[in-house]
Amino acid sequence: MKLRNLSPNYTKKVWELLSKFKAYLNQHQPTPELAKSFLAQYFNHKPNTFMRYFTYTQGFMTWYGSKLDTKVKAPRLTPPYHTEDQIVSLIEATKNKKTHKKLTLRDALLIELATTSGMRRSELAGIRVVDIDFENNRIQITGKGNKKRTIPLLESVSRKLQRYCQDKAPHESLFGLKPACISNQIHLLAKKAGVDLHTHSLRHYFGTRLVEKGANIRAVQELMGHSSLNTTQVYLGVTSKHLESAVKLLEE
């Protein structure tokens, strides 16, 4: 099976799952029944994880010529809600007298970029200095499937980036960190700040804030790099407090 135009991380996950499937088959020919039995052991995993395993296995069975027709729908989860105060606390956690100023600025930029652009951790890791247009305050992002999108930068973030990039070469990695390292750093900062969140939470925060501010859902889709509007629509899920506020508008 040849995988085209896919990120190395995605390809790695596919092959890891297919290796498990191969071991499960134990030299038996793959059949829909065996595939269902294999997937059953992952049913209690996180919905997104199970759906990913199902998609990979279904794709393999289709390639093999034996379709896996079972339709499975993972429950749609509303992204966890985080407050602006929590994000401020996270940024404050980057300040450490024992840490070099450059690293402090790097960590603060990781958080500010994620919360003002909605970038995934792989996208943050892939940014090069040359991808940033300081004159027009824009940044080019390489997303899933190597799809590129250009989004605006807040002027305040652009200025910090320009200061951070002063001694960097044009094609040099902006942060010099792999995706897993970015996740680990955010985890450490969140723990220090006493906030329960992870790297993807910062992306959720961005999407949620845009919707709260009344941004057009199509614009949110474009900014976040979602291929389907259905994915973006999970950010329309709101708290009861927001629902009450909406109804009270009728009294004004």
List active site positions: 120, 144, 200, 203, 226, 235
Alpha helices, DSSP H, located in 3-46: 8-25, 32-40
First-to-last alpha carbon distance for the chain, in angstroms, is 61
Helix, strand or coil, per DSSP, at residue 142: strand
| Cα(15)–Cα(98) distance, integer angstroms | 42
The answer to whether 218 and 231 have CB atoms below 8 angstroms apart is no
Taking the CA atoms of the chain, what radius of gyration do you get in angstroms? 21
Q: Which residues are within 8 A (CB) of 6 and not within 5 positions of it... i.e. 6 or more apart?
A: 14, 145
Q: Are 55 and 48 in contact (CB under 8 A)?
A: no
